[in-house]
Amino acid sequence: MAGLTGHPLAAAVLGAATLFLVQFFRDPERRPEGGDDTLISPADGTVLSVAEAPEAPPGARRRLSVFMSVFNCHVNRAPASGRLADYAYVRGQKGAAFSDKASAENEQNRITLVTPSGSVTFKQIAGALARRIIFYPRVGDTLVRGQRIGLIRFGSRVDLFVPDGAEVLVGPGDKLKAGQTAIARWPRGA
């Protein structure tokens, strides 16, 4: 049986690829920051923008976009506790996830949770390298804040539509951890 002992370059390449895949598919335990009045990040990554969006659902005009590079953990998590009210898969392109038009044009899952404080809508969006978006729950399921809900393989993006009146706690360039980082706080009395 011929091994890779005579091929140190091939062994190094295969070893590096194995380490990359192990790092990419890691799934660390996380504890949500803040209380039930805070929304937490559904994705690891960097905040691209927080801005009004034309495709925003009623009552949530601002879109908080998180870019997930190939070096981020790609397991996505529920930003709040609530009932999964709506889920829709939308076919689309596989353009660069950091591009603003990716939110409207790329392949994506659109997810809406109904919580005691109101509705929260977010999207899992495929990027140029992403080949598959995975979403585990079914409409009607009850999700817990920080619960694993799926993943996007390789570079991608998650957009969360911030409820009107909610205080945004992060800004462009901030690094986020899925299931942990507090990104917005519901308005008082919500």
Q: In order of start, what are the domains of the chain with their CATH numbers?
A: 32-185 (2.70.70.10)
Q: Average of pLDDT values for 126-135?
A: 82
pLDDT of residue 153: 77
pTM of the model as a whole: 0.84
Mark whether 103 is an active-site residue. no
Task: Kindly report which listed range (4-8, 69-73, 146-150) carries the lowest average pLDDT score.
Answer: 4-8
Q: How many CB atoms lie within 10 A of CB 167?
A: 12
- In the set 41, 117, 119, 156, the catalytic residue is 156
pLDDT digits (tens, 9 = 90+) for 135-179: 999 999 999 999 999 988 766 899 999 999 999 999 999 999 999
Burial of 1 per CB tally in 10 Å (0-12, 13-18, 19+)? exposed
